[in-house]
Amino acid sequence: MLTQINEGRFSLEDPTGAVPLDLSKTNFHVGLFTENCFVLAEGSYEDKVFQVNALGFPPAEPSQTTRAYFGNINFFGGESKTSVKSSARLKALEEQAEDAIFVFLSDVWLDQAKVMEKLRILFAGYSTLPPTAFVFCGNFTSAPYGPNHVKTLRESMRELADMLLEFPALVESSRFVFVPGPLDPGPGKILPRPALPKVITEELQSKIPTAIFTSNPCRIQFCTQEIVVFREDIIQKMSRNCVRFPNPETSITQHFVKTIVSQAHLVPLPLHVSPVYWALDNALRIYPLPDVIVCADKFDPFTETSAECCIFNPGSFAGSGYLFKVYLPATKTVEDSKIET
């Protein structure tokens, strides 16, 4: 593990001890190298300092490789003790659900009239062919409202519920999943975040029984497919805390995807940068790799594939021209979508 025991001096640490590193002549491979990352270092040991010639990440392990070793143990979560990947019945249901789609939006600012207008267009467009689920990621307001934040968000949720009731086909056939963002009401900046408080959501939930308010990150199982949804502005945070700024010849999204897949963790950062509830750190682990990881970030939208895992960012719906992503489980593909202004 890459650590910084003394300020400004990095070390390679394992349970047996720590070795100081000299990174002055190091060739960094693809990835965002931050403190607390697991790394593979190549070099020579001289004068009690490890002179690192090359630094890279452990190779990403595809889900099939992991499951070949561990069998049908359910790492993903849920009621079943065995992995859904082994269910022939669910696989048959998945093959029949050719029209299933998931719609992902991030930064759904419900306090903005323009955003609500675009949501009405979105719902009207999908009303004839309801998606399996709409997944709305926060933040759900354009700015913190101080002591009035909860009241403002509750009123916005009420308006959204009234709008959805205008589309009974969607209410009956689709699920509406709400994942809280970093600026939504909750316990500060600590991950994982619990669902939005009931005082905000109870009215919408009473009107829309198919609404589901989840933690951040959350996990969605569709037949045999596993989907992890994470809402955090993590790309910029990881870029700011790199040991060395990444090679510009490779896109920042490729660096990011390589990092989280190789680390098998959504937030490979030290606790002083991104606090984590230690007892709930398992919610941030992605081992074995799921089929899909949705990293909802205010960064530019992207879609990447690594180790047979699809990772994408729908972008900011309110801040990037009403962009969103559509996932089609039948083909395991992602489509870029936009509501024209």
Per-residue pLDDT tens over the stretch 64-91 = 999 999 999 999 998 888 998 989 999 9
pLDDT at residue 8 in the model: 84
* pLDDT above 90 as % of the chain: 93
Report the sign of the C-alpha dihedral through residues 135, 138, 140, 141, in that order. negative
pLDDT level of residue 167 (50, 70, 90 thresholds): very high
pLDDT at residue 86 in the model: 87
- State mean pLDDT over 139-157: 95
Which CA distances in Å does 99 have to 54, 95, 177, 272, 275?
47, 10, 19, 44, 40
Q: What single-letter amino acid sits at 295? A: C
- State mean pLDDT over 215-238: 97
pLDDT, tens digit (0-9, with 9 covering 90-100), for 44-56: 999 999 999 999 9
pLDDT level of residue 27 (50, 70, 90 thresholds): very high
pLDDT at residue 7 in the model: 85
pLDDT at residue 237 in the model: 95
pLDDT at residue 103 in the model: 98
pLDDT at residue 98 in the model: 93
Cis ω for the linkage preceding 301 (within 30 of 0): no
The structure tokens listed for 300 are 């530019």
pLDDT level of residue 188 (50, 70, 90 thresholds): confident
Is the pLDDT confidence value at 38 over 80?
yes
pLDDT, tens digit (0-9, with 9 covering 90-100), for 257-274: 999 999 999 999 999 999
Whole-number average pLDDT of the chain: 96
Is the pLDDT confidence value at 341 over 80?
no
Is the pLDDT confidence value at 100 over 90?
yes
pLDDT at residue 25 in the model: 95
Which CA distances in Å does 326 have to 108, 142, 173, 226, 314?
16, 23, 17, 16, 9
The burial of 238, by beta-carbon neighbours within 10 Å (0-12 exposed, 13-18 middle, 19 or more buried), is given as buried
pLDDT level of residue 6 (50, 70, 90 thresholds): confident
The torsion angles phi and psi of 293, rounded to 5 degrees, stand at -120, 120
Give the predicted TM-score (pTM) of the model.
0.96
pLDDT, tens digit (0-9, with 9 covering 90-100), for 126-142: 999 999 999 999 999 99
pLDDT at residue 298 in the model: 95
Comparison of pLDDT for 320 and 341, the residue scoring more = 320
- State mean pLDDT over 244-250: 90
- State mean pLDDT over 185-212: 96
Beta bridge partners of 12: 2, 19
pLDDT at residue 215 in the model: 98
pLDDT at residue 114 in the model: 97
pLDDT at residue 309 in the model: 98
Comparison of pLDDT for 8 and 184, the residue scoring more = 184
